[in-house]
Amino acid sequence: MAFLADALSRVKPSATIAVSQKARELKTQGRDVIGLGAGEPDFDTPDNVKNAAIDAINRGETKYTPVSGIQPLREAIAAKFKRENNLDYDWKQTIVATGGKQILFNAMMATLNPGDEVVIPSPYWVSYPEMVSICGGTPVFAETSIDNGFKLTPDALEKAITPKTKWLIMNSPSNPSGAAYTEAELKALADVLMAHPHVWVLTDDMYEHLTYGDFKFFTIAEVEPKLYDRTLTMNGVSKAYAMTGWRIGYAAGPIELIKAMDMIQGQQTSGACSIAQWAAVEALNGPQDFITKNKAIFQGRRDLVVSMLNQAKGINCPVPEGAFYVYPSCAELIGKTAPSGKVIETDEDFVSELLEVEGVAVVHGSAFGLGPNFRISYATSEELLEEACNRIQRFTASLK
Ligand SMILES: Cc1ncc(COP(=O)(O)O)c(C=O)c1O
């Protein structure tokens, strides 16, 4: 339809939202469906954070805030980066937005010109390429593989960079693979970037607090301080503090970039919700024991899911370092036939037959740019995860 903008033709709808929608529809029809598609913690927001929001309402903190966020939150963000990441940012180098999603969008909108390239390692979070495309840029995919733990190698990064590259988007721990980069792995990528001074890094550290075992989280500007002047370090409260609905994300970086993002945001939303910002101040400055407790729960679920999936015929599930996703391969099952007579030709066939036959909703890997795999979100109870994995085992055993 000519009325709609050309930009729309460059954008795909979100596959993860589509899976949740389909699962909801089947449930409404009375089907017994276990949804493992959603990317949000199943815990409630901690009480101290909720109470901070209620106090803010009662104090009358209900007006427009400065576009880049209230100063107490920006100071809390700068303090968080110092405390947890050893990064020195003045509070004026920080910005708050309506979710990490809007931070990314502001950054792309503020910097991309037609023809600019953005390197995105695959598998990737579904929104990165779409945001780049909406903003007129060109996504360039750098493939990873299951053999190197779904991590970008220095060699693949080097090959993806051209004179037109403006950004590299890093995401560790990763949605969808759960892969997280060690200090040495980040340093090796930083060494490549040092040879290409025109390339900036946007590091999406949204899952920072969800790493397991003795894995230690690092972010790239911490590992290579020489990249500080061309890095946007992004984070948020959605995943760490179970605050997806509050819509608060944040970032810190060079002041010129932050000012440009402020300009975009000023003409778009005028800034994030005042009440949610006060809640985020409490999340960042208040007690942090919520994180430790939930991390232990997530680790137990990860171990359960990985072990049960590896017992399913034809499934190969690596152990991810973090986030709340696993990204198993179903390569061995491609070409097999389901009892319905349906031939499984792609990972999309695999997940749709699994949903149809066993009522388990997962997302196909090709939606994240690397397959044949599928993504399971284990942000749900152990009981449901166990039942879902039993069904997956039964389904894979039925394929001939
Ligand atoms: C990798 C990644 N980055 C960013 C986001 C956006 O988070 P929010 O907009 O809720 O802050 C998500 C949410 O799913 C994500 O998985």
Give the strand pairing for 94-97 and 249-252. antiparallel
**Token pair 């892969």 in the structure block, residue:** 179
Main-chain dihedrals φ then ψ at residue 119, nearest 5 degrees = -80, 125
Q: Is the peptide bond before 123 cis (omega within 30 degrees of 0)?
A: yes
Alpha carbon distances (Å) from 172 to 57, 215, 247: 35, 12, 20
Please state, in angstroms and rounded to a whole number, the distance separating the CA atoms of residues 118 and 202: 10
Dist. CA 206 → ligand 1 center (Å): 6
Task: Give the pLDDT score at 109.
Answer: 97
Task: Give the pLDDT score at 375.
Answer: 97
Please indicate whether residue 100, judged by its CB atom, sits closer than 6 Å to ligand 1.
Answer: yes
Give the strand pairing for 165-171 and 138-143. unpaired
Please state, in angstroms and rounded to a whole number, the distance separating the CA atoms of residues 315 and 183: 30
Please indicate whether residue 176, judged by its CB atom, sits closer than 6 Å to ligand 1.
Answer: no
Task: Give the pLDDT score at 84.
Answer: 97
Please state, in angstroms and rounded to a whole number, the distance separating the CA atoms of residues 273 and 275: 6
Please state, in angstroms and rounded to a whole number, the distance separating the CA atoms of residues 209 and 203: 15
Classify residue 216 by burial, with Cβ atoms within 10 Å: 0-12, 13-18, 19+: exposed
**Tens of pLDDT, residues 5-31:** 888 888 877 777 777 888 888 999 999
Instruction: Report the Cα 158 to chain-centroid distance in Å.
Output: 24
SS3 content of the chain, % helix, strand, coil (to 5): 45, 15, 40
Please state, in angstroms and rounded to a whole number, the distance separating the CA atoms of residues 283 and 84: 14
Query: Which residue's alpha carbon is at the smallest distance from atom 7 of ligand 1?
Result: 100
Please state, in angstroms and rounded to a whole number, the distance separating the CA atoms of residues 298 and 210: 8
Task: Give the pLDDT score at 40.
Answer: 87
Mean pLDDT of the chain: 96
pTM: 0.96
Task: Give the pLDDT score at 93.
Answer: 98
Upper half-sphere CA count for residue 184 (Cβ side, 13 Å): 1
Task: Give the dihedral of Cα atoms 117, 263, 125, 33; nearest 10 deg.
Answer: -150
Q: What tokens does 380 get?
A: 């749900």
Which residue among 96, 101, 172, 363 has the greatest number of ligand 1 atoms within 8 angstroms of its CB, and so is best to mutate?
101
Q: Report the percent of the chain where pLDDT is more than 70.
A: 100
Task: Give the pLDDT score at 1.
Answer: 58
Please indicate whether residue 249, judged by its CB atom, sits closer than 6 Å to ligand 1.
Answer: yes
Closest CA to 152 of 160, 215, 326: 160
Query: Which residue's alpha carbon is at the smallest distance from atom 16 of ligand 1?
Result: 175
Please indicate whether residue 178, judged by its CB atom, sits closer than 6 Å to ligand 1.
Answer: no
Please indicate whether residue 101, judged by its CB atom, sits closer than 6 Å to ligand 1.
Answer: yes
| 46: DSSP letter | P
**Degrees, nearest 5: CA angle 339-377-299:** 120
Please state, in angstroms and rounded to a whole number, the distance separating the CA atoms of residues 150 and 299: 19
Residues of the chain with pLDDT below 50 are: none
Contacts of 352 (CB under 8 A, 6+ apart): none
Please indicate whether residue 235, judged by its CB atom, sits closer than 6 Å to ligand 1.
Answer: no
**Tens of pLDDT, residues 162-212:** 999 999 999 999 999 999 999 999 999 999 999 999 999 999 999 999 999
H helix intervals, 311-381 = 347-358
